[in-house]
Chain A
Amino acid sequence: MVVFGLNEPANLRIMATTFKEGDPSFAGALGGIALGLKSYHIFELKSEIPADTWKSEMAFEELQTEDELIEEICKTMREVRGD
């Protein structure tokens, strides 16, 4: 599986789609090559991460990021996975 830390939904959509279905632009080496990998953003996996690690590595970033953007990121990732 793939886990992202970038917070730009458009880039996330392209990268997650590439790892699942192949490069949608057919410009790169993965054009037409479907790896079938599931992608997640680290914000989606909060419940999986031990609380002390989340606090030291992610709490500040989570605080800095607007709730609307986090929701958009999670929605984008769910759409690409087909959840």
Chain B
Amino acid sequence: MLKGKKVAVFGERDDVTGLAVRKCVEAAGGEVVYEATSCFV
């Protein structure tokens, strides 16, 4: 599902960060084209 896909990543500072999601997506073969970590509290 992720292999070869362009992916926008939105993480949360207190949950799963954008960096952690990026590492997972890239390890699965996806291309992260945008990454952000926000705080929604």
Chain A residues near B30: list those with CB within 8 A. Answer: 3
Contact between B15 and A3, CB atoms less than 8 A apart: no
Interface size on B, residues (CB 8 A): 25
Main SS at interface, chain B: mixed
**In the complex, are the beta carbons of B24 and A58 less than 8 A apart?**
yes
Residues of A within 8 A of B18 (CB): 5
Scan A20-62; emit 1 where CB is below 8 A from any B CB, else 0.
0000000000000000010000100100111001101110010
Interface size on A, residues (CB 8 A): 24
Q: Once bound together, how far apart are the Cα atoms of A65 and B18, in whole Å? A: 17
Asked if B28 and A5 make an inter-chain contact with CB atoms under 8 angstroms apart, the answer reads: no
